[in-house]
Amino acid sequence: MKELFPRKQVMGFIFSLVLTVAALLVYFLDLSFALGMTVLLVTAFLQAGLQLVVFMHAGESEDKATIYTNVYYGLIIALVTIFGTLLAMIWGMV
């Protein structure tokens, strides 16, 4: 039975639960907007990185450079889209 629950993945799961509870503190504690957003950004991106490395085995295969390049490319386009939109439509800086 024990070999079916590898330590790395069990620890990964526990850590992801801890990150979720940490994110929930934003709701249960009365934080300022800036502090709350900081907490959410940190927990969400840590959580995403955790899934990628521990569960999706992103760094295991010989084409890992290609996989990471592709993920970073997708991520950069997504972030440019989101922050570009915020700049033009919400923050009114463009």
Q: Which residues bind other proteins (CB under 8 A)?
A: 3-6, 9, 12-13, 16-17, 20, 23-24, 26-27, 31, 33, 36-37, 40-41, 43-44, 47-48, 51-52, 54-57, 61, 63, 66-67, 70-71, 73-75, 77-79, 81-82, 84-86, 89-90
DSSP-derived letter for residue 70 is: H
CB of 70 to other proteins, least distance (A): 5
Q: Is 47 or 93 the residue whose CB approaches other proteins more closely?
A: 47
* The two three-digit tokens of residue 87, written as one number: 């700049």
List all residues 6 or more positions away from 78 whose beta carbon is below 8 Å from its beta carbon: none
CA atoms within 13 A on the CB side of 58: 15
State how far the Cα of 16 lies from the Cα of 89, in Å rounded to an integer: 33
In angstroms, what is the minimal distance from the CB of 60 to other proteins? 9
Tokens representing 46 are 């840590």
- Shortest approach of other proteins to residue 78 CB, angstroms? 3
Of 39, 43, 53, which is closest to residue 20 (Cα–Cα)? 43
State which residue, 12 or 93, has the beta carbon closest to other proteins: 12
